[in-house]
């Protein structure tokens, strides 16, 4: 009896021991394999679906705005879309993601005329992605060549110079082996099977959820702020001279037309008479539309310089000067020959109005931010200051920034918002800092460890 008992105990211990080591291994594996490369996600998904379309935008002089893009948004699919959008694992060399050319603090545009792709610069200026669910969602890309968001999302994925997925089945296997994708697909679609179709769909949810409804213009529309005299004059000028082409939204007047008839029906809305045009634009798919281009939404336009499909204008003032002075011939007559001939004051007013279209909160809003907290470094600093860790992350109180400072050099740590504003400055010769973040607004921050020009960046999420 006692013998059996002993055997049983031994057996039980062995099982316990085995399962313990298994757990322990699992934990170290996670730490080594995933760890830093896993996305940091909230326990309850952020709210992507609860978009209430502002009253003041529903009715326009051209009919009602179409808001059906928001009807079936899913928080789980958008969460998966967020991870896919930022995940470098998807790219051929695992060094680039959608966000490489579509940066949140620039309203998901880029700040160079042409973005650096896998092997060469892109042929056109990267486009902002804010408000694609409801503004100018009739056609995508500068050349208006695609009428369906999901379909077009496959293009940058498979474009050898963008994400460059050449072998979808290898990618799907790679994704299946991560610690996070099977669960994320399960939560979004009820099963963990990964497919291109679901990838397109999830990124579509994420992009459609990106709205800028808290610009100064929206606050004005809701009666929360009063416009200055200059902003008001600018708005009136814009309504007369610009709005016809910069409609912002798929209004009822378009409803009886499908893509691409809608463009062929109103070709005059797709050309602003730029000089020295080499790019055929929509001419690539329809000869009558030679030189026609999409006019992206002007929401957050302040952040998306340089401007036009080739990034030829550096500032909004350059754009206004173009419409005012540089229209030599006017093919369709929507812009008068010779241009609008604005006075200095009119130029200032127009610019003041365009600046009211910026929604600053959009540029740092956590639900559209990078969930990966990988280290970015510009130099050899990592050889002296290494193993930098920020924890807990996300944090809502005391936060430890630890590293190995082997030569006990003086290092500075800056806590910065995603658009580079320093909110806290610390200095040490030791192996780290501790700082209390409970008083900081919720959001994504960068912890920059700095010595001279050299730095190491880590992301920190502040939560309540």
Residues that bind ligand HEC (CB under 6 A): 96, 98, 100-102, 115, 117, 122, 124, 126-127, 129, 132, 140-143, 152-153, 156-157, 162-163, 203, 241-242, 244-246, 269-272, 274, 293-296, 298, 301, 304, 307-309, 319-320, 323, 334-335, 340, 350
Residue number, 110 or 403, with CB nearest to ligand HEC = 110
State which residue, 53 or 141, has the beta carbon closest to ligand HEC. Answer: 141
Instruction: Compare residues 307 and 433 and give the one whose CB is closer to ligand HEC.
Output: 307
For residue 153, the minimal CB distance to ligand HEC (Å) is: 5
Shorter beta-carbon distance to ligand HEC: residue 203 or 390 = 203
For the record, the structure tokens of 131 come out as: 């408000």
Task: Please answer whether residues 78 and 100 qualify as being in contact, where contact means their C-beta atoms are separated by less than 8 angstroms.
Answer: no
Q: Is 248 left (phi over 0), alpha (psi -120 to 50) or beta?
A: left
d(CA 411, CA 343): 52
Residue 350's alpha-carbon distances to 270, 313, 324, in angstroms, are 21, 16, 11
Q: Which residue is it, tokens 């959009």?
A: 362
d(CA 306, CA 304): 6
Shortest distance in whole angstroms from residue 54 CB to ligand HEC = 21
Tell which residue, 275, 261, 367, has the closest CA to residue 312: 275
Looking at the Cβ atoms of 158 and 384, the one nearer to ligand HEC is 158
> Closest distance between ligand HEC and the C-beta of residue 422, in Å?
29
Q: Which is nearer to ligand HEC, 334 or 426 (CB)?
A: 334
Residue 19 and residue 27: Cα distance in Å, rounded? 12
Using the structure block, give the residue that is written with the tokens 């930022």. 86
**Cα 76 to Cα 220: distance, rounded to the nearest angstrom:** 33
Sequence-ordered list of residues with C-beta below 8 angstroms from that of 27, at least 6 positions apart, any chain: none
Min dist. Cβ of residue 362 to ligand HEC (A):
15
Residue 34 beta carbon to ligand HEC: minimum distance, rounded to whole angstroms: 22
Residue 40: CB minimum distance to ligand HEC, A:
20
């Amino acid at each position: 009896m006692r013998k059996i008992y002993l055997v049983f105990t031994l057996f039980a211990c062995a099982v316990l021991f085995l399962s313990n080591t298994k757990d322990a291994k699992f934990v170290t594996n996670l730490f080594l394999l995933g760890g830093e490369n896993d996305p940091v996600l909230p326990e309850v998904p952020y709210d992507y679906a609860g978009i209430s379309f502002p009253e003041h935008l529903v009715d326009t002089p051209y009919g009602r705005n179409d808001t059906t893009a928001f009807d079936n948004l899913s928080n789980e699919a958008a969460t998966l879309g967020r991870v896919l959008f930022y995940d470098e694992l998807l790219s051929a060399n695992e060094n680039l993601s959608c966000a490489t050319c579509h940066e949140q603090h620039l309203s998901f545009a880029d700040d160079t005329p042409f973005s650096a792709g896998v092997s060469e610069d892109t042929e056109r200026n990267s486009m902002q992605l804010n408000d694609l669910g409801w503004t100018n969602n009739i056609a995508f890309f500068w050349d208006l060549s695609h009428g369906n968001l999901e379909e077009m999302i496959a293009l940058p994925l498979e474009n050898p110079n963008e994400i460059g997925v050449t072998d979808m089945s290898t990618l799907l296997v790679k994704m299946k082996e991560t610690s996070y994708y099977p669960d994320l697909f399960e939560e979004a679609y009820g099963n963990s099977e990964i497919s291109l179709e679901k990838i397109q769909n999830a990124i579509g949810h994420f992009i459609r959820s990106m709205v800028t409804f808290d610009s100064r213009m929206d606050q004005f529309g809701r009666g929360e702020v009063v416009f200055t005299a200059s902003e008001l004059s600018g708005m009136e000028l814009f309504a007369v001279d610009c709005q016809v082409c910069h409609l912002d939204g798929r209004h009822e007047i378009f409803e009886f037309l499908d893509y691409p008839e809608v463009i062929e029906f109103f070709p005059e809305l797709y050309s602003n008479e730029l000089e020295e045009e080499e790019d055929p634009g929509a001419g690539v798919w329809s000869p009558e539309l030679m030189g026609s281009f999409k006019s992206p939404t002007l929401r957050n336009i302040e952040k998306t310089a340089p401007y036009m499909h080739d990034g030829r204008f550096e500032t909004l003032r350059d754009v206004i000067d173009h419409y005012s002075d540089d229209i030599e011939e006017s093919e369709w007559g929507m812009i008068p020959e010779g241009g609008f001939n604005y006075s200095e004051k009119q130029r200032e007013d127009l610019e003041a109005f365009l600046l009211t279209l910026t929604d600053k909160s959009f540029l740092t809003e956590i639900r559209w931010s990078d969930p990966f907290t990988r280290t970015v470094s510009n130099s050899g600093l990592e050889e002296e200051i290494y193993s930098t860790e920020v924890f807990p992350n996300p944090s809502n109180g005391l936060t430890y920034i630890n590293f190995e400072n082997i030569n006990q050099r003086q290092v500075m740590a800056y806590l910065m918002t995603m658009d580079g504003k320093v909110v806290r400055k610390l200095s040490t010769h030791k192996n780290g800092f501790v700082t209390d973040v409970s008083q900081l607004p919720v959001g994504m921050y960068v912890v920059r460890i700095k010595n001279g020009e050299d730095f190491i960046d880590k992301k920190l999420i502040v939560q309540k």
